[in-house]
Chains A and B, each alone.
Chain A
Amino acid sequence: MLKALFHILIFPGLLFLFIFGFFAEYVDRKLYARFQNRIGPPWFQPLADFIKLISKQEIIPEEADSNVFKLMPLLALAASSAAILYIPILGERSVFSFNGDVIVVLYLLTVPTFAYFLGGWYSRSVYSMIGAVRSLTQLFAYEVPLFLCILASAMLADTWSLSGIVAFYNQHIGYWFCNIIGFAVALICLLGKLEKIPFDIPEAETEIVAGSFTEYNGRLLAFIRMSFNVEMIVGASLLAAVFLPFGLNLPPAAVFLCYLIQVFLIIAAVSFLRTLFARLRLDQMINFCWKYLAPLAFLQVLFNLILKVVLPR
């Protein structure tokens, strides 16, 4: 019981996620700034922003459904934080592991998007509603390729548990290279999930102010920002576990260090990608996802199916 509480509240649960989340946000913002030839924020800026936001007055629009409005940021934060418990970050085993936890993690990562949709929809502001619809439309575009890539990797490993996938790739390091298309596609899908340029369509500032989050402020906005940070960590951890399985046979401290390096590599890739492009339009983004990403993901599935037959176990 105590052990479970420790896992949920401290490591790898909330406390770890919060601290790591702030740090990840700092790294992302700093790298983004440096790529753009700016100085960027100091290391404590994300924490300072968080404290400032939670200490602010909370304003809920009169027309909004205040229960849904208040609940959704917490739901998003809770769902994305829960996902980390099923992702192996220290060695081959996650905290709670069972056969089929891949699906649970993917499901838990989808919940925040729905929470943003509902929160935006029930804000009853035109900008929020357009942003909410956009975030749901975008979900249908990037979710399928993302799932397919992770499915392909799981198929090669012949298991539905993340711990199993990690263990498999740890034993067959060479197989990692087979999933390289899947990794690239999943990384691009992660940009969509985190609503980063070029897929920041649901919160396109110059079009719909802040999309779903237009009416959010104070504490609730702080939770939304935090849940994005946590989503970034969880998404990066998931990709690291599935696609970058190196350094698992080292001593525990080194394994943890390797995990941090993997996550930061993925965050750096995300920051780099978002400096390169302009924001796509919604129709262009859906076209791109279905025309290029989904076929590539299918190719990866097909490739892995063939590999499974051809290669010796």
Chain B
Amino acid sequence: MHDLHDFEDVKIPIGPQHPALKEPESFLISLRGEKITASSVRLGYNHRGIEKACEERTYTQGLYLIERICGICSHSHSTCFVQAVEEIAGIEVTARAKYLRTLIGELERIHSHLLWLGVAGHEIGFDTLLMYTWRDREVVMDLLAALTGNRVNYGINTVGGVRRDISHKQKEEVLKAIDILEERTKYYIDLAKGETTLIKRLQGVGVLSHEDAEKLDAVGPTARASGIERDVRKDDPYAAYGELDFKVISVNSCDVYGRTLVRLGELMESFSLVRQIIHKIPDGPILIKSSRKIPVGEAVSRYEAPRGEDLHYVRANGTEKPDRVKVRAPTLANIQSVSKMLEDRYLADMPIVIAAIDPCFSCTDRLIAVRDAKNKEKNTVVWETIRLKGIEWYKNKGIDFTSLNEKLTKLF
């Protein structure tokens, strides 16, 4: 292997477009042979300006926009936001509404963790696991569709409560589906503990020591797999979590295998939580009517999303629209640790190490800076300039719509 050191390091770009990534994100990796010598992460391909857009909308409109920050943990974001708004307005949500929010939240966690398990399988070339888990995930997706009307972006939250109640028949359906899912999850736990190639690919990969996890502020399953028992549901109970009984799953192996076991363990905890909710859910109204205007004030709300702690800050100015909304998605807290985890690993470990934090890049992206490629100058580009540039670019390619445009203007 000595000869390899004589070669210069090869730089390979993973992303913005790459099969390992489900969303655009750029990792530049230096390779010596198969070993990674350096890596750098670049965010910012997915900026959608949601925070700013929220300031232009009323709280209720903003809620549905916030829900679309993420397709997977949409309920996390909307609950987190709505909790902050309710805190400012001083609205105490009814117990039944709290239980319903918790129920949807836990079902969402089940679907997110099953999705993660499949993605992880795919990243290490275990497509059979992907096909199996995504098939089983359909059970919980159907359940969510039955309860809320949507498979993703459930739209069940609203300021002051929830929009849909659960019927007796639906409760039974939930319990039935949970039984199926629990049985399947037990099978996956057996598989994770017994399948040699899976263990070989995951054990000792992407190590993030306890100290590093503390230092880099890892959250969620990433932190819990490094022995940090940090879970907002336990530390700062919101919704109905204070009245429910569950364990915080944590392991000390600090590697990707540990993160897998944590997520599988959390699935089992979620099943027990859903059962408790179904049995304990109190009767009563699900929605308290509130004024459209939210009084002056500010609040920070925390929520344990499937990927880790989600944080929303809302500042109200007494009108129908928020003054400022700030979202800190869990991936932003975890992304710093990726470089640490990639140290001294092989290229083959790169996809699973990135996937192990369960990244959601479009949730994370907050800012976009346009720089001139030549003189590195920052400048602001307005929409109209981009449009004109686009027209010019197509004109150079021989595609010209000006005459067509004129005809259309004459017509109307």
Which residues of A line the B interface, CB within 8 A? Answer: 35-38, 126-127, 129-130, 197-198, 200-201, 204-209, 275-284
Q: Which residue of B lies closest to A134 (CB)?
A: B34
Check if B351 sits within 8 Å of A276, measured CB to CB: no
Q: Which residue of A lies closest to B123 (CB)?
A: A206
Check if B351 sits within 8 Å of A278, measured CB to CB: no
Check if A126 sits within 8 Å of B131, measured CB to CB: no
Check if A275 sits within 8 Å of B201, measured CB to CB: no
B365 within 8 A of A: no
Nearest Cβ distance between residue A198 and chain B, in whole angstroms?
6
From A206, A275, A282, A284, residue with most partner B Cβ within 10 Å: A206
B132 within 8 A of A: yes
The total of interchain contacts (Cβ-Cβ below 8 angstroms) comes to 82
Which residues of B line the A interface, CB within 8 A? Answer: 10-13, 18-20, 31, 34, 121-129, 131-132, 135, 195, 197-198, 200-201, 346-351
What are 5 residue pairs bridging A and B, where the CB atoms are less than 8 Å apart in the complex?
A: A35-B128, A36-B127, A127-B12, A278-B126, A278-B200
Nearest Cβ distance between residue B135 and chain A, in whole angstroms?
6
Check if B12 sits within 8 Å of A283, measured CB to CB: no
Check if A37 sits within 8 Å of B348, measured CB to CB: no
With contacts A278-B195, A280-B201 taken as known, whether A206 is within 8 angstroms of B351 at the C-beta atoms is: yes
Check if B131 sits within 8 Å of A37, measured CB to CB: yes
A283 to chain B: which residues have CB within 8 Å? 34, 346
Q: How far, in angstroms, from A278 to B128 measured CA to CA in the complex?
A: 9
Of A35, A127, A277, the residue contacting B126 (CB under 8 A) is A277
Check if B12 sits within 8 Å of A198, measured CB to CB: no
Check if A197 sits within 8 Å of B127, measured CB to CB: yes
Check if B197 sits within 8 Å of A278, measured CB to CB: yes
Q: Which residue of A lies closest to B125 (CB)?
A: A279
B18 to chain A: which residues have CB within 8 Å? 209
B121 to chain A: which residues have CB within 8 Å? 278
Q: Which residue of A lies closest to B12 (CB)?
A: A126
A126 to chain B: which residues have CB within 8 Å? 10-13
Nearest Cβ distance between residue B37 and chain A, in whole angstroms?
14
Q: How far, in angstroms, from A282 to B31 measured CA to CA in the complex?
A: 15
Of B13, B19, B124, B132, the residue contacting A279 (CB under 8 A) is B124
A279 to chain B: which residues have CB within 8 Å? 124-126, 197, 201, 348
**Which 5 pairs show the lowest CB-CB distances between chains A and B?**
A279-B125, A278-B126, A36-B131, A206-B20, A206-B351
Of A35, A201, A276, A277, the residue contacting B348 (CB under 8 A) is A201
Check if A275 sits within 8 Å of B125, measured CB to CB: no
Check if A198 sits within 8 Å of B346, measured CB to CB: no
With contacts A206-B20, A207-B20, A278-B201 taken as known, whether A130 is within 8 angstroms of B31 at the C-beta atoms is: yes
Q: Which residue of B lies closest to A205 (CB)?
A: B19
Nearest Cβ distance between residue A278 and chain B, in whole angstroms?
4
Check if B348 sits within 8 Å of A281, measured CB to CB: yes
5 more A-B residue pairs beyond the given contacts A206-B19, A277-B197, A278-B201, with a C-beta to C-beta distance below 8 A:
A36-B128, A38-B131, A126-B10, A198-B197, A279-B201
A204 to chain B: which residues have CB within 8 Å? 125, 348
Nearest Cβ distance between residue A162 and chain B, in whole angstroms?
33
B31 to chain A: which residues have CB within 8 Å? 130
Q: How far, in angstroms, from A277 to B199 measured CA to CA in the complex?
A: 11
Q: How far, in angstroms, from A197 to B130 measured CA to CA in the complex?
A: 14
Q: Which residue of A lies closest to B14 (CB)?
A: A207
Nearest Cβ distance between residue B409 and chain A, in whole angstroms?
37
Q: Which residue of B lies closest to A282 (CB)?
A: B34
A35 to chain B: which residues have CB within 8 Å? 128
B198 to chain A: which residues have CB within 8 Å? 278
Q: How far, in angstroms, from A36 to B127 measured CA to CA in the complex?
A: 8
Q: Which residue of A lies closest to B129 (CB)?
A: A278
Check if A282 sits within 8 Å of B132, measured CB to CB: no
Nearest Cβ distance between residue A282 and chain B, in whole angstroms?
6
With contacts A36-B127, A38-B131, A130-B31 taken as known, whether A209 is within 8 angstroms of B197 at the C-beta atoms is: no
Nearest Cβ distance between residue A134 and chain B, in whole angstroms?
8
Nearest Cβ distance between residue B192 and chain A, in whole angstroms?
11
Nearest Cβ distance between residue A48 and chain B, in whole angstroms?
22
Check if A197 sits within 8 Å of B200, measured CB to CB: no
A208 to chain B: which residues have CB within 8 Å? 12, 347
A200 to chain B: which residues have CB within 8 Å? 125
Check if B348 sits within 8 Å of A282, measured CB to CB: yes
Check if A275 sits within 8 Å of B128, measured CB to CB: yes
Q: Which residue of B lies closest to A201 (CB)?
A: B348
A37 to chain B: which residues have CB within 8 Å? 131-132, 135
Check if B351 sits within 8 Å of A282, measured CB to CB: no
B129 to chain A: which residues have CB within 8 Å? 278
Check if B125 sits within 8 Å of A197, measured CB to CB: yes
Nearest Cβ distance between residue B5 and chain A, in whole angstroms?
16
B348 to chain A: which residues have CB within 8 Å? 201, 204, 207, 279, 281-282
Check if B125 sits within 8 Å of A198, measured CB to CB: yes
Nearest Cβ distance between residue A293 and chain B, in whole angstroms?
15
Q: How far, in angstroms, from A198 to B126 measured CA to CA in the complex?
A: 8
B346 to chain A: which residues have CB within 8 Å? 281-283
A36 to chain B: which residues have CB within 8 Å? 127-128, 131-132
With contacts A37-B135, A130-B10 taken as known, whether A207 is within 8 angstroms of B128 at the C-beta atoms is: no
Nearest Cβ distance between residue B217 and chain A, in whole angstroms?
27
Q: How far, in angstroms, from A281 to B348 measured CA to CA in the complex?
A: 6
B123 to chain A: which residues have CB within 8 Å? 206
Q: How far, in angstroms, from A279 to B349 measured CA to CA in the complex?
A: 11
Nearest Cβ distance between residue A38 and chain B, in whole angstroms?
6
Q: How far, in angstroms, from A37 to B31 measured CA to CA in the complex?
A: 38
B135 to chain A: which residues have CB within 8 Å? 37
